[in-house]
Amino acid sequence: FVQRAETPDGGQELYPWVQLSGHRENFRPGLRPGTVLKLLCPCEADCLRQLTADPLLGEFVPRYFGTVRLEDGTEFLEMQDLLAEFPGCTGLMDCKMGSRTYLESELDSDPKPRRDLYNKMVEVDADAPTADEAAAQAVAKPRYMMWREQLSSTATLAFRIDGLQRLMASGRTHPVDLKRLRSRPEVSDTLAGFLEGRLDLRDAYLARLRKLRAALAPSEFFALREFIGSSLLFVHDQSPGHACVWMIDFGKIRLAPGRLSHTADWLHGNHEDGYLTGLDNLIGLFEDMQFP
Ligand code: ATP
Ligand code: MG
Ligand code: MG
């Protein structure tokens, strides 16, 4: 869909809304310029409300504007559209953070195996399903998530590139099979492609990531919560140094039984998520990037 942003002179500018992951139907145009609607998950709305007001982390999340009920009865949360400041966006990337992408509670429940997840699995690797899964033509969600973790860099780098688009005047470019991006060199090459050889972008992203690292370290909100399935959204355009990163996707943030380091290895029951390990790896990859 098409979005509206306010320009500095008080006018309005139209730009296409681009969604890198998740279900299409979950997003709608916002009710005012510069916002977007996401299908309501009360957990996520509550988290975003608190984060928006958080003195340390507020500047790293889309601003929360409350909930909205549409005419058909469906409820959405309204938040800042992070693309609004980048109507001429040329690069957009979603990195799913952490070394685990399912909640401990999802492991403990016994979900019904699903046909759609089986299909997604064989699409990538026909040999991946076990004999039982092949016979049932169905795979349980936690098993699917763990398989995807091993396939991607989630298991090794504690983050994975979940979506990436480089937008050119001519349309999309740079198709990469992100699901199988696993090793450090592969991820590094993909990040380098995203940066288009621009040192200005690397420096802008690096400064923002370090600032985020410095804000997360002393944050009580962060220390007390398991951050699962949450992403960093990277956005830039063609102006020199015009790049930013935000935290998004808070549907699986849960209070942990105690404080988390976000760097310790996960053992079932300790709720560690590896979020900071992933962030440190991401920072290291940007630091080590070679520019011609
Ligand atoms: P999943 O849990 O499968 O990742 P989801 O339905 O929870 O999906 P998000 O991950 O929150 O959805 O968002 C999906 C995509 O939508 C992001 O990758 C990003 O491209 C875009 N997006 C989300 N929130 C915003 C925002 N506030 N501003 C701009 N773009 C956004
Ligand atoms: Mg997401
Ligand atoms: Mg989500």
pLDDT single digits (tens) 188-214: 999 999 999 999 999 999 999 999 999
What pLDDT score was predicted for residue 209? 98
Instruction: Identify which of 200, 198, 193 has the alpha carbon closest to the alpha carbon of residue 178.
Output: 193
**Band of residue 175 on the pLDDT scale cut at 50, 70, 90:** low
Task: For residues 228-232, give the mean pLDDT.
Answer: 97
- Atom index in ligand 1 nearest the CA of residue 80 equals 27
pLDDT, residue 6, reads: 84
Q: Give the mean model confidence (pLDDT) for residues 5-20.
A: 87
Ligand 1 center from residue 234 Cα (angstroms): 12
Which of 86, 94, 144, 160 has the most ligand 1 atoms within 8 A of CB, as the residue to mutate?
Answer: 94
Q: Answer whether residue 171 shows pLDDT above 80.
A: no
Q: Is the pLDDT of residue 111 over 90?
A: no
Q: pTM (2 decimals)? A: 0.93
For ligand 1, atom 10, name the residue with the nearest CA: 249
Comparing C-alpha atoms, which of 261, 247, 291 is closest to residue 80? 247
Which is higher by pLDDT, 45 or 291? Answer: 45
Q: Are 96 and 154 in contact (CB under 8 A)?
A: yes
* Residue 28: band (very low, low, confident or very high) from pLDDT cuts 50, 70, 90: very high
Mean per-residue pLDDT for 252-273?
96
> Looking at the CA of 249, which ligand is closest?
1
Gap from CA of 230 to ligand 3 centroid (Å): 7
CA separation for the pair 234, 236 (Å, rounded) = 7
What mean pLDDT value characterizes the chain?
A: 93
Say what the pLDDT of residue 82 is. 97
ipTM, two decimals: 0.99
Distance 212 CA to ligand 3 centre (A): 20
Q: State the residue for tokens 């016994």.
A: 110
Q: Which residues line ligand 1 (CB under 6 A)?
A: 19-23, 26, 36, 62, 79-83, 94, 163, 229, 231, 233, 248-249, 251
pLDDT value of position 132: 95
- Alpha-carbon separation of residue 151 from 179, 185, 201 (angstroms): 7, 15, 29
- Mean pLDDT of all residues in 260-266: 97
Please determine, for residue 176, whether its predicted confidence score (pLDDT) is greater than 80.
Answer: no
Q: Say whether pLDDT at 41 is over 90.
A: yes
Q: Which amino acid is at 55?
A: P
| pLDDT greater than 80 at residue 92 | yes
Pick the closest to residue 253 from 227, 219, 224, 216 (CA basis).
Answer: 227
